[in-house]
Structure 1
Amino acid sequence: MSLTPKLKAAVASALLATTAMAVPALAEGKLTVSSPQDPGSWDPIDTFLVNWASAATNIFDGLTYRGPDMELVPALAESWEELDEGTRIRFVLRQGVTFHNGEPFNAEAVKFTFERLLGDEGAKGPQQSNYTAIESVEIIDDYTVDFHLSAPDPVLLTKLAGYGAMIVPPKYVSEVSEQEFNLNPVGTGPFRVVSYDPKVSLKMEAFEDFWGDQAKLSELEFRFITEPATAVAELQAGRVDVVIPPTIPISMIPTIEADPNLTLATAPGPTVYSLRFNTRDGITADENVRKAMIMAVDRDTIVTEILGGQAEVIASLQGKLSFGFDPDLEPLPYDPETAAQLLAEAGVQPGATVQIDIRGNDASFGEVTQAVSAYLSTVGINATITPYETNTLLNDIIPQGKTGAMFQQSWGGWTFDYDNTAYSMYHTGEKWNPYDSDPELDALLESQRPLTDRAERERILREIAAYAADRALEMPLYNLNAIYGVNNRVRNFDPAPDNRMRLNTVEVE
């Protein structure tokens, strides 16, 4: 007998509750994690950065949760039920949950969280557009809420497991300044924040009143180490226990594998890498020039020789695990002769220059970009590479449309649903789409969002991928494995494909 989604949720909830009733052992031990980026704000509505989620998944909870096994299970909602043909979802909330500051979790907290996300405060950040199907949150009683939707959203339950949908404490958020909450976040997760030193570290301790599996660690620290060689050296010295993606350069994998005290842990991840084009200015405003530049680059050789086979060439901004992936969509071939012909037909003179903007701390991608530059030079295009501090590139250069002809876009697509990527990359007015506006593409993106017919929605997502590829909106490069370096003293560590690590079950010797 197969279980309905509602029954599955109820069974998983019962198992979580049974586990939570067990008397926990006293937490002990400290785990130190090296992260390549400080997100700069811990407010869930302020970011889409995977390095935010790596730490914040331990601070906050959503109504749902999805772990490394990719299964969606209850979190702050014990169960849910879709009503009115998918335009209303009723959530039964977990009782006896408290925030780190002692506030009670209840229906008021859920309503406050989503009204904040969908209001003026949320409009300042990149998250709001993912939740616009939610028209209102109605409180039925203290532990029951109804989400009223403008149309069904087939990805909403997964979205509720991450980023902007993390539940926040109403009283605390209302009383402190926006800056205070950015720096001193409060959630319901297994760890509470003790201190935050921007660009240095985030320190946490086990939260004794956590509703689920009590943390086996007494302390958890995230150190923000931007330089990959430094992070690996700290791992070798034992001052760091885990180095998370995308820190470890492919060139340093043999170093980790040769160290008897370390383990390399990998998982097929959602992260795809591309060089997006400035479609507004210069030679890359010409679609045929963009196609020529793609065809000038041998991406298969890049994956083999630079990435050590830890990646796979992509035709669109998604990997094989993504809903919407089309196995029949082929990447443009490596064909420098045709590339040179297209450039000549477009009037691009030999010696034309382009600027490529990248994240300065991503050593592996830096090597990839050097290879791209070398390939482009063979068809007469001279590429200069400009590295930026990551937050500067992501929060200033790209959104403000101040990039060169090409810019690095590494995208997690953590929902493993192409909508999460495509809407953010291609829809007019989105933060990550500073240059392009295509009414036909906008219509396609909007048309698939309310569909409950899975096959029809997949068909449209594949059409979107093909349309974007035909317009050559980016140079799709590869889907990279999530690569972790782990000290052997760490126990029960499960490498998360999407970097969203829940570390309450991890132990250290």
Structure 2
Amino acid sequence: MIPFKYAVFAGLLSLGVAVAPASHAAGTLSIAASAGDPGSWDPIDTFLVTWGGVGSQIYDGLTMRTADMKLVPGLATSWEMLDKDSRIRFKLRQNVKFHNGEPFNAEAVKFTFDRLLGPEGAKGAQQSNYNAIKEVKVIDPFTVDFLLSRADPVLLTKLAGYGGMIVPPKYLTEKGDEFFNANPVGTGPFKFVEYKPKVSLTLARNADYWDGAPKLDGLVYRFITEPATQVAELQAGRLDIATTIPTSMLDVVAKDAKLKVASINGPVTLALRFNTKEGITKDVNVRKALVMAVDRSTIVSQILGGNAEQVASFQGKLSFGFDPALKSVPFDPAGAKKLLQAAGVPAGAAVQIDFRGPDSNFREVAQAIAGYLQAVGIKANLKGYETSVLLNDIIPNGKTGEMWQNQWGGWTFDYDNTAYAMYHSGQRWNPYDKDAALDKLLESQRDTYDQQARQKTLREIAQYVSDQALEMPLYSLNTIYGINKRVQNLTLPADGRFRFINESIQ
């Protein structure tokens, strides 16, 4: 049963009555969703960190990953590898129901993955993460076998999030995909209440959750992409957790008696990716010069206040495959000028840097990069886009300028999940490059469960990408939260995927 106060709150929302987040119903938590509105709550449609955070409340996967990165049973109670690692058998949790009362069972698992790997999944962003699965077979009502066409050493982790979340067959079949996008149903600790596109998503406590009902009555996710606005709402008490704070405002939040700041190592890494097909960045030596021209260490210390760590590849040190021996290209403006001159690039040549317009932190970084490039004779024009436009249109359709903001959550904490998506021919995030040698490296590390061999290959991939200067690696960003002190027992996930089970409000 939904507590009375929350029922009143939800009822007012359903009637269209404006309810300010400051007037929380008892135990209702308000969280900023900084990456913006994914536009769909279907697990197969998206890749945004916002979806991952919200999806972990609505859905469950066969596996779950705890905040300390341990893989534990989810809707599967156990699993084992069979037939020389070409089959995984999952024993499923019994007496679990979807939010609409539909039973969870083996048929639901098969339906989920048939859909993910079929024509509907092909329209979304998640199918390529799961294409090692050839078929899902129902053995009995609570046992399924995953038949694999090849090894996938990261599959069990992938099943803990995004595309692998289990969906209700009957509900989806009756309501259809479009309805499901805006009215999600899962087995998770919170149930869908209301979705206001680009404004908010409201969830209510699932009192029958199989892993114990959450203490909170409800959650309100607010789509606030502007970091300064998040801070203002946090200070005003209309937000309990801010997920993006301008580094220039961290002290302001920390000094507020009602608030606190948490800054922890996270998986989000940023780079400037190069257009290798058009413009002066077609030339690998020009790309190397642009990397040499930028003092990334100073950007980390001065602009980001040390809340990041310079990287040599598109991954942080928490990532499997990270190579501490791979060194960043040194800051060398004189060397950069020589390379540009040798490549025949005239003084004043222009490049365009595309970035997420609402990201005020990166805007400052981009302005600094433009200044460094100007010092070596390159004019950088900054072009901000709405995040959804940049991610859904400009990048995947190859409409970028010479450089663009590349930001990746790396939520599996495995370089494979990043590198394959970024660099393999034909992938969504690789609109320009087709490199058979790199493809072969990327594919080979997916064909073995030998972690030592995988790590060696992943490090070779990072070195190859560095040698080809496909991007300007910038930094691994700390996960930073601004928190109202009234929130109790808060567990902080490095990847932004909260699971609000034991949290409460004082």
Distance 2:390 2:154 in 1: 29
For residue 387 of structure 1, what is the aligned residue in structure 2?
384
**What TM-score does the superposition give when structure 1 sets the normalisation length?**
0.94
Q: How does 1:286-365 map to 2 (within 5 A)?
A: 286-365=283-362
2:30 to 32, 37, 47: 32
SS at match of 1:468: helix
Note the C-alpha offset of 1:35. 1.3
Q: Tell me what 1:87 maps to.
A: 86
Would the alpha carbon gap of residues 24 and 175 (structure 1) be closer, same or farther in structure 2, given more than 3 Å must change? closer
1:452-506 per-position Cα deviation (integer Å, ceiling 9, x unaligned): 1111111000000100110000000000100000000001111211111101221
How many Å separate the matches in 2 of 1:395 and 1:417?
Answer: 24
Q: Output the CA distance in 1 between the equivalents of 2:246 and 2:361.
A: 5
Q: Match for residue 19 of structure 2? A: none
Pick the aligned partner of 1:452 from 446, 449, 452. Answer: 449
Q: Tell me the CA shift for residue 151 of structure 1.
A: 2.0
What displacement does 1:84 show?
1.4
- Report how far residue 176 of structure 1 moved: 1.7
Partner of 1:104: 103
- 1:72 match: 71
**Is the contact made by 1:242 and 1:487 (CA closer than 8 Å) also made in structure 2?**
yes
Partner of 2:270: 273
- Aligned residue type for 2:206: F
1:397 to 394, 401, 414: 394
Q: In structure 2, the residue corresponding to 1:86 is in which secondary structure?
A: coil
- Mapped contact 2:308–2:477 kept (Cα < 8 A): yes
RMSD: 1.4
CA contact (8 A) 1:63 1:75 kept: yes
Contact kept? 1:279, 1:435, Cα under 8 Å: yes
Alignment partners' CA distance in 2, 1:477 and 1:396: 24
Query: Structure 1 vs Structure 2: percent identity of aligned residues?
Result: 61
Q: Report the equivalent of 1:128.
A: 127
CA–CA distance in structure 2, aligned partners of residues 390 and 165 of structure 1: 24
CA contact (8 A) 1:190 1:215 kept: yes
Q: Report Cα offsets for 1:14-48 as digits up to 9, x if no partner.
A: xxxxxxxxx99999511001112111111111111
Structure 2 match to 1:255? 252
The runs of at least 4 aligned residues of structure 1 exceeding 3 Å deviation read 23-28
Counterpart residue number, 1:242: 241
Conservation of the 8 A alpha-carbon contact between 2:2 and 2:207: no
| Paired position in structure 2 for 1:11 | none
Deviation, structure 1 residue 266: 2.1
1:205, distance to aligned residue in structure 2 (A): 0.4
C-alpha distance in 2 between matches for 1:56 and 1:429: 27
Pairing 1:43–2:42 present: yes
The one-character-per-residue Cα deviations of 1:274-323 (angstroms, maximum 9, x if unpaired) are 01000100100110000000000000000000011111110000111111
- Kept in 2: contact 1:280–1:435 (CA 8 A): yes
Unmatched runs of 5 consecutive residues or more in structure 2? 7-25
Q: Aligned letter for 1:331?
A: S
TM-score (normalizing by structure 2): 0.94
Partner-residue secondary structure (3-state), 1:297 = coil
Secondary structure, in 3 states, of the residue corresponding to 2:111? helix
CA contact (8 A) 1:24 1:214 kept: no
Inter-partner Cα distance in structure 2 for 1:74 and 1:166: 13
Deviations 1:55-105 (A, max 9, x none): 111001000000211000001000111111211111000001001111100
Which amino acid is the alignment partner of residue 466 of structure 1? Answer: Q
Residue 177 (structure 1) shift? 2.7
Q: 2:421 & 2:414 partners in 1: Cα distance?
A: 12
Are 2:3 and 2:217, in contact at CA under 8 Å, matched by a contact in 1?
A: no
Cα distance in 2 for partners of 1:471, 1:366 equals: 26
Any gaps of 5 or more consecutive residues in structure 1? 1-22
- 3-state SS in 2 of match to 1:220: strand
Q: CA deviation at 1:375?
A: 0.2
Deviations 1:317-365 (A, max 9, x none): 0111111111110111000001000001111000000110000111111
Matches of 2:407 and 2:172, distance apart in 1: 31
Kept in 1, the 8 Å contact 2:2–2:204? The answer is no
Corresponding letter in the other structure for 1:125: G
- In 1, are the aligned partners of 2:294 and 2:372 still within 8 Å (CA)? yes
Report if aligned partners of 1:288, 1:346 keep a CA contact under 8 Å in 2. yes
- 2:23 aligned residue: none
Distance 2:280 2:177 in 1: 42
Question: Does the residue aligned with 2:58 lie in a helix, a strand or coil?
Answer: coil
1:46 counterpart SS class? coil
CA distance in structure 1 between the partners assigned to 2:177 and 2:137 by the alignment: 26
Q: How many residues align?
A: 485
